[in-house]
Amino acid sequence: MSKLDKDQVIEKFTQAYTSVNGKAPSLVAKGGWYSVDGGKNVRLAVLAEMTEALGKSATSEPKATTAPKSAAKAPAEKAPKPAAEKKAQPAAKKAKPASKGFSVKSFWQDNVLSKLFGARPPR
């Protein structure tokens, strides 16, 4: 396993990220883990791999025209909207059974407390 120089890896990653995305990344280092733009925490070796991947995509991106980029962004924006609607529906379904007023947990707690004087529920 080769030793990676932290400063060199971060500098190369910043350059590659800036060339691809047009803005500098927000890198947060904490305990040997690095978070890029508030995303998933990764180790330094993964940052080096991401630099290589960004370098490959940077060389292939200038060949593409601007029209496919805008077409690629449009479906990505449409995808989260149906997902958000689906998340809202199950939340409404969960609220209906709770609104009936009867719960097994409260029934069992009342049953145990009524039989034993001085008893109290756990927690």
- Rounded to whole angstroms, the Cα distance separating 122 from 66 reads 63
The pLDDT, as a whole number, for residue 105 is 86
- Rounded to whole angstroms, the Cα distance separating 95 from 89 reads 10
The pLDDT, as a whole number, for residue 67 is 46
- Rounded to whole angstroms, the Cα distance separating 76 from 25 reads 21
DSSP state of 62: T
Nearest to 120 by CA among 66, 112, 43: 112
Q: pLDDT tens track of the chain, all 123 residues?
A: 467 788 999 999 999 999 988 888 988 888 888 998 888 889 989 989 989 988 887 676 554 444 445 444 555 455 555 555 555 555 544 444 445 688 888 888 888 888 887 777 776
- Rounded to the nearest angstrom, the gap between the alpha carbon of residue 50 and the centroid of all alpha carbons in its chain is 17
